[in-house]
């Protein structure tokens, strides 16, 4: 199992490197540390490299770097990745429904954990980079051409969505407009949100996603 202590940096390809530099410096608050040969290196204000941008034909994640425990055996890392193991949440997040579901599948199949990460963004980037397979909402995974759906939606981890508003504001015109817009959006995008698209199931491991080779 690869248990990441912290995220290191990510290498991203983009067809518009200038626009991405503007985004990461003006929106994300990073600093342009250096540029050379179609590459841009962005760092935190403390000087830690966070993002490396490279010019490419399409936007994609090329590499991820994580800090791991110094005593970790890199043979274990390699075997975990080669076994198409799971990417899931940390042990502190074992109460999450998705984490419990993955752990149950692991006990049944003996599969390994390739990486534990505390948020979906890190898991998504790791799976796109080929680190293993994991669980995503259908509306996230189905929209990513770099990912392959492995199963149909998993009923055990289905979720309900609620619009919550203060009782004193529920009749305000602006609030009602937002509520009506959200309701209509869910109606129009029902199939996307429910994962009811006609997507082939290539494995029996329910709910999994993996990077397309």
Report whether CATH 3.10.180.10 matches the domain 1-70: yes
What's the confidence (pLDDT) of residue 203? 31
The whole-angstrom separation of Cα 152 and Cα 200 is: 8
Q: What is the mean pLDDT of each run of 10 residues along the chain (213 residues)?
A: 66 89 88 89 84 86 72 61 76 91 88 84 82 86 83 85 89 93 91 69 42 47
What's the confidence (pLDDT) of residue 179? 93
Domain boundaries, the chain: 1-70
Instruction: Specify the residue for token string 């429904």.
Output: 97
CA 90 to chain centre: 14
What's the confidence (pLDDT) of residue 161? 83
CB contact at 8 A, 10 and 125: yes
End-to-end CA distance of the chain: 22
CB contact at 8 A, 138 and 194: yes
> Model pTM?
0.55
CB contact at 8 A, 116 and 88: yes
Q: Which of 24, 23, 60 is nearest to 44 (CA)?
A: 24
């Amino acid at each position: 199992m690869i248990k990441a202590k912290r995220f290191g940096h990510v290498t991203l390809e983009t067809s518009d490197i200038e626009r991405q530099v503007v985004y990461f410096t003006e929106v994300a608050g990073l600093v342009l540390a250096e540029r050379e040969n179609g590459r841009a290196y962005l760092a935190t204000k403390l000087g830690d490299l966070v993002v490396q941008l490279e010019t490419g034909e399409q936007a994609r994640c090329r590499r991820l770097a994580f800090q791991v425990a110094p005593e970790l055996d890199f043979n274990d890392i390699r075997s975990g990745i080669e076994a198409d193991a799971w990417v899931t949440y940390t042990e502190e997040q074992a109460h999450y429904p998705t984490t419990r579901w993955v752990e149950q599948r692991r006990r049944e199949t003996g599969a390994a954990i390739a990486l534990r990460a505390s948020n979906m963004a890190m898991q998504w980037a790791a799976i796109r980079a080929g680190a293993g397979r994991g669980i995503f909402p259908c509306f996230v995974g189905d929209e990513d051409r770099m990912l392959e759906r492995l199963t149909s939606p998993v009923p055990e981890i289905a979720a309900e969505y609620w619009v919550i508003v203060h009782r004193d504001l529920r009749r305000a015109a602006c609030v009602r407009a937002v509520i009506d817009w959200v309701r209509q959006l869910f109606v129009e995008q029902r199939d996307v949100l429910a994962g009811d698209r006609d997507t082939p199931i290539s494995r029996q491991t329910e709910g999994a996603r993996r990077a397309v080779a």
